[in-house]
Chains A and B, each alone.
Chain A
Amino acid sequence: MALPAHAGKIETIWYYTFRVLCGIIFFFLIAPIVIIIPLSFNSVPFFTFTSEMLSLDPAGYSLKWYQDFFTDLNWQGAVQNSFIIAIFSTLISTTLGTIAALGLSRSEMPAKTVVMGILISPMIVPLIISAAGMFFFYTNIGLASTHLGVILAHAALATPFVVIVVTATLVGFDQSLIRAAATLGASPVVTFFKVTVPLILPGVISGALFAFVTSFDEVVVVKFVGSYEQRTIPWAMFSGIREQISPTILAVATMLIILSASLLATLELLRRRNERLRGMSPG
């Protein structure tokens, strides 16, 4: 959208106004995330930039909120639970979701839209309703207040993301490759691992990342289905914000931002790899 050479005065003004406008919107998107990083190094328990901070005086900065985080059992327990729950629910949802996506993307699949609609409904139903239902049901079958209960609940919530992402990868998947492998004498199992898996792997991994983040970021269901023993990072943040918002929460937030940035980078690499592979496949 470079400014054409023949642009008139109004167009020139509009061109720059538009860019400034977009700049402001991008700023709105990113500023809140950037701004809490320095605030987490605050030496006083406030959410503002102190004059020491602004004059870059080292006394205005401190690592004590990080220290607080790493020494507090409440937070450490939350970190452990978050990873345990997210990893196991990712494993379950990625496995089930990928298999289902393979079925869904077959042309022979009957009533595809209806089945898809049902499978991704956990993403659409408001969380409070899912949480309430799971609260009663899981209590009933003895899974409430257990890690397993929360893992299953999160796996259910995360499968839609896996299904959507993997199905999207499979749209460009050339079924004739499988037939080609078969005619060349490969068994279905060999074909699956040698042909299908390498091609859909980027999609599966990004689906798994979505699933991981869904679980890692979830708080409503965990609060209803789990109890304090299953507290996760978002749970601790949620009750922290409600109770007494301290810069420790900002320190946690900063670390989570770093985590999401690295997830994003992974995803971007996968996307590029996927595009490269797509470029190679015929059609």
Chain B
Amino acid sequence: MSTTVESIAAEQMVTADGIPLKVSLARARRRARNRALLLVAPLFLFIFVTFFIPIFSMLFRSVENELVGETLHRTVPLLQNWDESGDAIPGEEVFAALVQDFAEAQETKTAGRPGRRLNYEKPGFSSLFRKTARKAEKLEPPYKEAMIKISKDWGDIEYWRVLKRESGKYTKAYYLSALDFSYDPEGNIVKNPGEESIYIKLFWRTLWMSMLITVLCLVLAYPISYLLSTLPARSSNLLLILVLLPFWTSLLVRTSAWIAILQQEGVINDFLVFLGFLTDDGRLAMIHNQVGTIVAMVHVLLPFMVLPLYSVMKTIPPSYLRAARSLGANPFTAFVRVYMPNTVAGIGAGGILVFIIAIGYYITPALVGGQSGTLISNLIAYHLEASLNWGLAAALGAILLGGVLVLYLLYDKVVGIDNMKLG
């Protein structure tokens, strides 16, 4: 009711320079909005250039596949007319184009990379391309026979099928590998046998280890957050330092501390041997495995759980519990039925935050994870640095990023991004 009155009033009112108040107000609001946007713009632009463009252009590598078509630019168009479902390899015309392409590639030294690209699909392409490029210049027709003489692989229809399949501008092969699928010799997409599927396994491991770490963090954070929220300010501030100091201490410092503590010649093992619980050659292996990763990561991420929990618990009046008790609930029931439901927001905030950080973790698993404790990030790093299969690294990264973004949206639903607090 009151709004109608106001709007009617606004319509009738006019500012000093004769503009209706409504228009003037709208204009002022627009100006204010533009001013707000203008303030955000520099950072937005900065993040866009230094962060979003790099990530999107990297992720584009997961489907990009121009190399083969570029290098074999005479052969590839001709291959489109060849029927790969038959059992005859392409004819002389295609071979002639191929020889020309290879002779040119040898001159520009561009044969190696598409060879290595195709080698991901079928081992053998790498040396096939290398060998062929070296000899292509000197070949005489008939080219088909000459090429098969260089390597009998050119007479093998499987190589031709792979070549045709992976000659387009875009490929889904990297995503297929990232999800443990591959092509069979006939070109059908098949699931890799159990013992050869590594990425799905690693995704699962990353998921369950992150989940376990999150749960452990929650289990450890809950009691101390509760204690902190119920103590008088003076002592709780003091104890809070024990949470904040690790939080502010370098990740590398904490990881090296855990190495010093957990390794076989480390503090815990020495202590246990000293006490006689262990013999000198029966020392426990607590590092370079899952135990090491989990312990170190729980320690690293625990503050991220304590801080949101604590800030929620601080706002719960102690009178709630007292009321429940006075109404006849026993302490346990009162805590579970009355107190805990009030902390759900904190659990959600801390839980999702810890999970998001854990799922993309790289440093700690790389240093203390050994084989069984490494996560998907470590494999992405491997494909970036060592195997140079950048397309696969990008595909794995895109899948991981997708998962993280889903969690991020969930976080927004549960907590609200603008409610995120630190320290």
Contact = CB atoms under 8 A, between A and B. Distances in A.
- Say if the two chains contact directly (CB < 8 Å): yes
A113 B405 CA distance: 15
B259 A245 contact: yes
B58 interface: yes
Interface in B220-262: 220, 223-224, 227, 230-231, 239, 241-246, 248-261
Given A128-B397, A253-B256, A133 B55 contact: yes
A165 B422 CA distance: 7
B408 A48 contact: no
Interface in A191-215: 206, 210, 213
A181 interface: no
A80 B401 CA distance: 34
Contacts of A100: 39-40, 42-44
Contact of A113 (B362, B390, B404, B418): B418
A20 to B, nearest CB: 11
A267 interface: yes
B236 to A, nearest CB: 10
Contacts of A39: 260
Interface stretch (B125-133, B164-172, B265-273): B265-273
Contact of B367 (A125, A213, A238): A238
A205 to B, nearest CB: 13
A32 B417 contact: no
Interface string B311-346: 000000000000000000001000000000000000
A152 B50 CA distance: 7
Nearest to A95: B42
Contacts of A122: 47, 51
Contacts of B36: 103-104, 106, 108-110
B317 to A, nearest CB: 14
Interface residues of B, number: 89
A63 interface: no
Interface stretch (B70-78, B86-94, B144-152, B377-385): B377-385
A29 B299 contact: yes
B227 to A, nearest CB: 5
A96 interface: yes
Interface string B355-385: 0100111110011000000000100110010
Q: Which of B39, B54, B255 has the most CB of A within 10 A?
A: B54
A65 to B, nearest CB: 13
A230 B242 CA distance: 33
Contacts of A119: 40, 43-44, 47
Contacts of B241: 264
Contacts of B363: 219-220, 238
Interface stretch (B5-13, B27-35, B112-120, B193-201): B27-35
Most A CB contacts (10 A, CB to CB) among B46, B56, B261 go to B46
Contact of B267 (A30, A48, A115, A238): A48
Category for how many chain A residues contact B: 35 or more
B141 interface: no
Contacts of A241: 252, 255-256, 259, 367
B185 interface: no
A89 to B, nearest CB: 11
Contacts of A206: 423
A226 interface: no
A127 interface: yes
A138 B33 contact: no
Interface in A120-162: 120-122, 124-130, 132-138, 152-153, 155-156, 159, 161
A25 B223 contact: yes
B37 interface: yes
A272 to B, nearest CB: 10
Contact of A115 (B44, B230, B367): B44
A242 B367 contact: yes
B222 to A, nearest CB: 10
B255 A96 contact: no
B38 interface: yes
A116 interface: yes
A227 interface: no
B251 A217 contact: yes
A161 B367 CA distance: 26
A85 interface: no
B362 A127 contact: yes
Interface in A240-283: 241-242, 245, 249-250, 253, 256-257, 260-261, 263-264, 267
B416 interface: yes
Given A100-B42, A133-B54, A136-B57, A32 B254 contact: yes
A182 B356 CA distance: 44
A257 B246 CA distance: 9
B248 to A, nearest CB: 4
- Which of B223, B249, B401 is most buried by chain A, counting CB atoms within 10 A of its CB? B249
A70 interface: no
A47 B254 contact: no
A28 B296 CA distance: 11
Contact of A99 (B39, B224, B246): B39
B180 interface: no
Nearest to A97: B43
A267 B61 CA distance: 43
A126 B43 contact: no
Contact of A130 (B51, B246, B258): B51
A29 B299 CA distance: 6
Nearest to B419: A168
Interface of B: 29, 32-33, 35-40, 42-44, 46-47, 50-51, 53-59, 61, 220, 223-224, 227, 230-231, 239, 241-246, 248-261, 263, 265-267, 270, 299, 302-303, 331, 356, 359-363, 366-367, 377, 380-381, 384, 390, 393-394, 397, 400-401, 404-405, 408, 412, 416-418, 420-423
22 contacts: A11-B331, A22-B223, A26-B224, A29-B246, A99-B43, A119-B44, A120-B417, A121-B408, A125-B360, A126-B400, A127-B360, A128-B381, A132-B380, A133-B56, A135-B58, A135-B384, A136-B61, A156-B47, A219-B252, A237-B252, A260-B250, A261-B248
Given A22-B224, A103-B37, A128-B362, 7 more contacts: A32-B257, A113-B418, A126-B397, A135-B58, A136-B390, A253-B256, A264-B244
The 10 closest A-B pairs by CB, nearest first: A126-B360, A103-B39, A137-B54, A133-B54, A1-B230, A100-B43, A133-B58, A133-B55, A32-B257, A108-B32
